Amino acid sequence: MKRVINIEYPKSLANSLRLSVKDFESEIKISSLVKLFEIGKVSSGTAAKVLGLTRVDFLDLLSKYKVSVFEQSDFNDLREDIENA
Nearest to 32 by CA among 11, 54, 61, 57: 61
Report domain extents, the chain. Answer: 11-84
- With residue 58 as reference, give the H or E element that holds it: helix 55-62
Longest dimension (CA), the chain: 56
Cβ of 31: how many Cβ atoms within 10 Å? 12
Q: Among residues 44, 45, 55, 9, which one has the least CA distance to residue 28?
A: 9
pLDDT per residue of the chain (85 residues) written in tens, 0 to 9: 889 999 999 989 999 999 999 999 999 999 999 999 999 999 999 999 999 999 999 999 999 999 998 765 566 666 777 888 7
CA angle 62, 24, 64 (to 5 degrees): 15
